[in-house]
Amino acid sequence: MPPITSPSASSAAATASGTGFSALGVPAPLVALLTAQQVTAPFPIQEATLPDSLAGRDVLGQGRTGSGKTLAFALPIVARLAADPMAPMRGRPRALVLVPTRELATQVAAVIEPLAAAYGMKTTTVFGGVTHAAQRKAFATGVEIVVACPGRLLDHMQAGDVSLDRIEVCVLDEADHMADQGFLPMVKRILDHTPENGQRLLFSATLAGGVDTLIARYLTNPVSHAAGVEAPVLLEHRVIVVEEADRVEEIARMAREGRVVVFTRTKHRAKQLARKLDAIGVGAVELHGNLSQNARERNLAAFAGGTATALVATDIAARGIHVDDVPLVVHADPPVEHKAYTHRSGRTARAGAAGQVVTIATPDQVGEVRDLLRKAEVTAQWEGIAVPAGSRVSTPRSSVGAGTSRSASSSTRRSGRPPALRSGGSRPR
């Protein structure tokens, strides 16, 4: 593996010389655009990586989901292309962002588009679930920036719709999630078609699953930054043991208290549960692979906008959910793998906010859930029927960070309901 260096002197100097995005080297027009969007204070991952990425270096950024990684690579992309304006060329973009899911592609593009548009540059998304025609037309018209999922991008490459020989900046976002989903062989094929002298930025919460091989093969003397990886998370874990007949009503009770993301193991189960919740007066929408892209976007918008209070999703969909201010995640079905538990749970307690994770289990699932939590290195408060001896704990703390306050925990024990949780800080991008 090439040497991974510590943050450069320029990074330290920029941070010391002032505050805000200007001090990090972000061009004034981009700072003005951010200010107009009321984005003025950089998040740690942005503050750490921007001086090096704006200077053209390859960067390895480690940060949790919700830490503000999108702006950490969106700003260097737009700044670099704007500094050397060129007419768009048919099927030959200048920047590429690879992401694991359609939802993430849409959300990343939503951050990049207004910044790029201010300089007259076009951004497009490329992913499955929609026809090739509109994407082919965008390439033919000429776009500077492409945000893509690996599979569909390869389809267009093989069809001759797009060439990557002009790529100046390539970003791998949530590389560990792409590894989890088996996308790394496709990612490598794509990167092999980009210029070796281009800038490459890789963002990942961990270096497991082959991410380290990507770094070794495709990044040149990368500067490594970690921000928020070990930061304490205000996350409380609970397990509620109920009879199977009471599972839906227990979930409905929590959903009536506020917004909640509910996870199931299968698409059929997600569809069934969403309809049951809706039938008993809980505004619920589903998110899984059987939905059309329009339906997925419509349901996510309903949840993000508050029309629906419950979003019922499958494990795969968990990787693409990036909605701020979600105080509660419910595992309607305990996941099979502890990694899935961690990924699901990451939909709450984002950007310094507090959150709760509740697993609904039946008596015959108690052993399975205890083993799951042990592997995930999580301590949970158990409630309900058939609670294992010694499992009722006060003020639980997860190994990934500090637990909620004593007052919040005591409120939970008195009422049996998750306490109201406030979101902290401004929304990361």
Long-range contacts of 296-300, Cβ-Cβ distance < 8 Å, separation of 24 or more: 296/102, 296/103, 296/129, 297/106, 300/103
How far apart CA 71 and CA 78 sit, in angstroms, is 10
Say which amino acid occupies 416.
G
301 assigned to some structural domain: yes
Which structural domain, as residue segments, surrounds residue 142? 9-226
4 assigned to some structural domain: no
- Report residue 282 as tokens: 């809980």
Q: How many domains does the chain have?
A: 2
Q: What is the DSSP letter of 335?
A: -
Q: Are residues 185 and 307 in the same domain?
A: no
User: How confident is the model at residue 425, as a pLDDT?
Assistant: 37
| Element of type H or E holding 146 | strand 145-148
Q: Are residues 257 and 403 in the same domain?
A: yes
Q: Are residues 60 and 104 in the same domain?
A: yes
Cα–Cα distance list, 380 to 230, 235, 279, 353, 396 (Å): 20, 10, 31, 19, 6
User: How confident is the model at residue 317, as a pLDDT?
Assistant: 65
Residue 309 CA, chain-centre distance (Å), reads 20
User: Per DSSP, which regions of 2-93 are E strands?
Assistant: 59-62
What is the mean predicted confidence (pLDDT) over 260-279? Answer: 93
Q: Are residues 55 and 98 in the same domain?
A: yes
Whether 13 has a pLDDT exceeding 80, the answer reads no
Between 99 and 5, residue with greater pLDDT: 99
What is the per-residue pLDDT across 59-90, written as a single tens digit (0 to 9) for each?
A: 999 876 666 889 999 999 999 999 999 999 99
425 assigned to some structural domain: no
383 assigned to some structural domain: yes
pTM: 0.62
| Element of type H or E holding 177 | helix 175-180
Q: Are residues 244 and 307 in the same domain?
A: yes
- Report residue 386 as tokens: 């058939």
Q: Are residues 212 and 101 in the same domain?
A: yes
340 assigned to some structural domain: yes
Which of 354, 355, 382 is closest to 369 using CA atoms?
Answer: 382
CATH code where residue 132 lies: 3.40.50.300
Which of 237, 195, 19 is closest to 96 using CA atoms?
Answer: 195
Domain boundary among 226, 252, 282: 226
382 assigned to some structural domain: yes
Whether 149 has a pLDDT exceeding 70, the answer reads yes
Q: Are residues 179 and 279 in the same domain?
A: no
Domain boundary among 195, 226, 257: 226
How far apart CA 304 and CA 308 sit, in angstroms, is 8
Q: Are residues 73 and 32 in the same domain?
A: yes
Whether 115 has a pLDDT exceeding 90, the answer reads yes
423 assigned to some structural domain: no
Choose the weakest-confidence range: 78-92, 205-219, 381-395.
381-395
CB 190 within 8 A of CB 214: no
Q: Are residues 262 and 331 in the same domain?
A: yes
Q: Are residues 67 and 104 in the same domain?
A: yes
Edge-to-edge strand list for the sheet holding 355-361: 284-287, 310-314, 260-264, 328-331, 355-361, 235-241, 381-384
Cα–Cα distance list, 368 to 15, 36, 374, 392 (Å): 48, 50, 10, 17
Percent of the chain with pLDDT over 90: 56
Q: Are residues 302 and 327 in the same domain?
A: yes
Whether 353 has a pLDDT exceeding 80, the answer reads no
428 assigned to some structural domain: no
CB 65 within 8 A of CB 346: yes
Domain boundary among 177, 203, 226: 226
Q: Are residues 208 and 279 in the same domain?
A: no
